[in-house]
Structure 1
Amino acid sequence: MSGEMIGLVGTGILLVLLMFRIPVAFVMFLVGFVGIWILNGWNAAMGLLASETFTLASNSELVIIPLFILMGNVATQTGMSRQLYDAAYAMIGQVRGGLASATVIGCGGFAALSGSSVASALTMGKVSLKEMDRYEYDPRLSTGVVAAGGTLGILIPPSTGFVIYAILTEQSIGRLFLAGVLPGLLLLTAFVLTITLLCWIKPSLGPAGPKTSMAEKRKSILGALPILTVILLTIGGIYGGFFSPTEAAGVGAGLVILYGLAIGKLDFASFWAAAKDSIVTTATVMLILIAAHMINPFLALSHIPDVVGNFLAALDAGVIGTLLIILFVYMVLGCFLEGFAMLVLTLPIFFPVIMQLGIDPIWFGVLVVLTLEMGLISPPVGINVFIVKSVAPNVDLGQIFRGVLPFWGAMLVTLGILIAFPQISLILPNTMFN
């Protein structure tokens, strides 16, 4: 059996095992290890398992993952996420759909702390769904907003998705973080416009909330200042060159912890809960990354990237045509696979093609991460939809999926804008580094 055929069989086995919901990391370990054993011998497989695990685990850049996760978890424990939502609600809650728009803005702000879509959806769901129920929002809009708004966590920096993309493709984490700022704000704006349009067409979807006085607005904005300050210091510090992304993560986590202690809302029990959750999440991400470094050599030895590259070249679709084909594949895979799994499985195949075509890898990273976001609310997997279902058990799953459809469309429009105008993604990183 040829190397290409072994690679295709291994990839097929991997996809089948994933469909049976076997954990991603274990599937990639198994297929990668056995594949290298068959192609290059037992010693090569064992040597790679030992060396790659140590090399990746000792990568100092990966410290950024637990630090930013800890920052988001501590912010949740100290109520900072609630302060974000309250500030947004005080400003726009009195208009039709205002509570939904405030939820999206809150998700965007919390995303800039946690870097996690699941955490954003879960936290803002707990904060906002009861409020929207109280003012008789249509459950399709309220749950759809939370599921879609949570996806901002993987695009607005700091983003775990960008960190994994950077590690797998050897790109700059700082450049990727900055590249996600304007697209993240563009997507947030698209979500707010979608809510406004839906409530204009059918006002009963999102009734207006109660008006707030200027004093209440000032109080809410002042309450959100600490979290906004942390966001500006971490992202602004990276942009200004004051510290690296890893140092920014340390500064952000430290400031959030000090703030929690200062206001008396962070005791040992709450800090332990935040730290424990951060350790579990980090261990999951690390396992996936280590497993990726087993599957990637197997794909390279079986020449699967070359086969895919030759196939795409034979289509003669041009640079943009090939890019659209790759993004379409990501959209289809997003209906069945978890986002990180897609990254580690597909980047070794598609990234060489992207570089050969001369496509900017930072721009491509933004497009890929946005496409992964779409998978978070795409049926049948749509992990954010199931997260919202856990917070709103009385809402039918079908209603939540119908609720996210307009926002999925907004994401598709945003993706089209970013493809048509690459400078939206590249202007900040190019300004910083050039």
Structure 2
Amino acid sequence: MTISLIAFAILLVLVFVRVPIAFAMALVGGAGFAAMRGTEAAGAMVGNAVFETGMNYSLSVVPLFIFMGNVLAGSGIASGLFNGADRVFGRMRGGLAMATILSCGGFSAVCGSSLATAATMSKVAMPSMRRFGYDDSIATGSIAAGGTLGILIPPSVIMIIFGLLTESDIGKLFIAGILPGVLGICLYLVAVMVAVRLKPELAPKVRRPQSMSRSDMIGVLATLALFIFIMVGIYGGFFTPIEAAGMGAAAAVVIALAVGGLRAKVLWVALIDAAIASAMIFAIVIGAEIFGNFVTFAGLPDALADLVNTLGLGGYEVIIAIVLIYMVLGMVLESLSMILLTVPIFYPLIYQLDFGSGVLSNPDNALIWFAVIVVVATEISLITPPVGMNVFVLRSVLPDVPLATMFRGILWFWVADIVRISLIVAFPAISLWLVGG
């Protein structure tokens, strides 16, 4: 266990000095394995990790779901979705911020990427909120927080990665994320209501929105149709979650062509962006695989299990401790790296914890519940300083808004997230009811 902790310390140092996380994990994992087994064994392990990751059919969902989201964003469907949500909430104070939250939830349901959701909706929603006099803090806060919904509401790339790491049923993980995702949207809407009530200067007085146009209706219906197509296809047994990525990408292209928003340039940019994002994700997955092999060989998961048994901690106490660890790690690591770094270490513990005689007595249910907790904790990390990846995405799109302003607006939603994860931990049925647990 000692060598594992030393490796973690070295890894964090490398991250702090801005070594890319993929290379940092690969370097520390490879060097640690070499120190324990020799360079020849380490070389074989690294080569095998690269080969197996590259040949992993299940990972093909990553570029396909990202491409699907890019097509919808580039074709203008996301704009129609936002305008449609504005027609619903526009009559309320803070209505545009609420519309942003709702449209982020809708867009993430067919995108699967938090960063893509935040980047897309910042271009769609921010100009409107500025035009109507919204304070930059609540405007950027609603976009950054709404973007986090992309890693929980299915289809979720992070859920797919979790399923691959733990060999869980990806379809069940998708279902488990629906109610917590809806809960997140509701709590974010409440956060906006509370914010504008306590600080009226954050949002203008009530205005009268225009009636829903044909293009707005198309945006809403197209998003809803694509989500239903993917979910019905998976749970109706027409195709697997992995095949759903290909079907969803093809359907997105067809829908974009039908609404007249898919031009050659849009398609090209969608392909290039998907390739770049996928290359980054694959590099991180390979690095995490190398590091995970090292810490597993070093015996860290077994050592943690022994420590839990020695301390006599209950199942819920361990879960709370893990959530706190994620909160701390989220301050220095981005979401995917955090998942890949920690899940291989923590998930074996779940099978050994005692949660009593309820639904969590089934280890598979406990793992699904744990997956939702991990993803929600990861969502929180996306808006937690100093890293807060969604915030830095917004910063790249809106360089004139100071980071301090963005984080000030995010505070309302951060509190809502703490409430949500507390409810999910306290009431596992929120995650397991639709799964049948």
TM-score category of the 2 structures, normalised to the smaller one: over 0.9
Shift of 1:218: 6.8
Farther-moved stretch of structure 1 (56-65 vs 412-421): 56-65
Alignment of 1:22-33 (within 5 A): 22-33=19-30
Aligned twin of 1:120: 117
Select the residue among 386, 391, 415 that pairs with 2:392: 386
Aligned twin of 2:357: none
**1:368 maps onto 2:387 in alignment:** no
CA distances 1:172-213 after superposition (whole Å, capped 9, x unpaired): 111111111111011011001111122223333222453245
Shift of 1:85: 0.1
Aligned twin of 2:298: 302
**1:336 maps onto 2:332 in alignment:** yes
Shift of 1:222: 4.1
Asked if the contact 1:260/1:266 (under 8 Å) is kept, the reply is yes
Alignment of 1:119-268 (within 5 A): 119-208=116-205, 210-212=207-209, 214=211, 216=212, 220-268=216-264
Amino acid at match of 1:392: L
CA distances 1:210-266 after superposition (whole Å, capped 9, x unpaired): 32455x367633442112101111123223333211222112111111122233322
**1:412 maps onto 2:418 in alignment:** yes
Shift of 1:50: 2.2
Q: How far, CA to CA, are the matches of 2:369 and 2:177 in structure 1?
A: 9
Asked if the contact 2:109/2:154 (under 8 Å) is kept, the reply is yes
Asked if the contact 1:68/1:249 (under 8 Å) is kept, the reply is yes
Shift of 1:429: 2.5
Amino acid at match of 1:319: G
Alignment of 1:103-114 (within 5 A): 103-114=100-111
Aligned twin of 2:2: 5
Amino acid at match of 1:180: G
Amino acid at match of 1:284: M
Select the residue among 267, 270, 277 that pairs with 1:271: 267
Asked if the contact 2:114/2:150 (under 8 Å) is kept, the reply is yes
Asked if the contact 1:116/1:160 (under 8 Å) is kept, the reply is yes
Amino acid at match of 2:78: S
Q: How far, CA to CA, are the matches of 1:236 and 1:427 in structure 2?
A: 18
TM-score by length of structure 2 reads 0.94
Select the residue among 371, 377, 381 that pairs with 2:383: 377
Amino acid at match of 1:429: V
Select the residue among 393, 399, 406 that pairs with 1:400: 406
CA distances 1:73-109 after superposition (whole Å, capped 9, x unpaired): 0111101111110110112112101000000011111
Shift of 1:151: 0.6
Asked if the contact 2:77/2:218 (under 8 Å) is kept, the reply is no
Q: CA RMSD in A?
A: 1.7
Q: How far, CA to CA, are the matches of 1:367 and 1:197 in structure 2?
A: 25
Shift of 1:121: 0.9
**1:355 maps onto 2:351 in alignment:** yes
Partner SS state of residue 208, structure 2: coil
Amino acid at match of 1:127: V
Give me the identity figure in percent: 42
Amino acid at match of 2:15: L
CA distances 1:37-56 after superposition (whole Å, capped 9, x unpaired): 11112221122222222222
Partner SS state of residue 379, structure 1: coil
Q: How far, CA to CA, are the matches of 1:219 and 1:82 in structure 2?
A: 9
Select the residue among 46, 55, 61 that pairs with 1:58: 55
Shift of 1:332: 0.8
Change (3 A) 1:170 1:59: same
CA distances 1:267-298 after superposition (whole Å, capped 9, x unpaired): 22221110011011111111111222211121
Q: How far, CA to CA, are the matches of 1:263 and 1:397 in structure 2?
A: 37
Aligned twin of 1:430: 436
**1:313 maps onto 2:319 in alignment:** no
Q: How far, CA to CA, are the matches of 1:340 and 1:286 in structure 2?
A: 11
Alignment of 1:47-86 (within 5 A): 47-86=44-83
Q: Which has the higher helix share?
A: 1
Q: How far, CA to CA, are the matches of 2:146 and 2:266 in structure 1?
A: 26
Farther-moved stretch of structure 1 (382-391 vs 88-97): 382-391
Select the residue among 323, 329, 340 that pairs with 2:319: 323
Asked if the contact 1:96/1:207 (under 8 Å) is kept, the reply is yes
Shift of 1:412: 0.6
Shift of 1:32: 1.1
Amino acid at match of 2:374: V
Amino acid at match of 1:128: A
Q: Structure 2 unaligned segments of length 5 or more: list them.
A: 355-362
Amino acid at match of 1:6: I
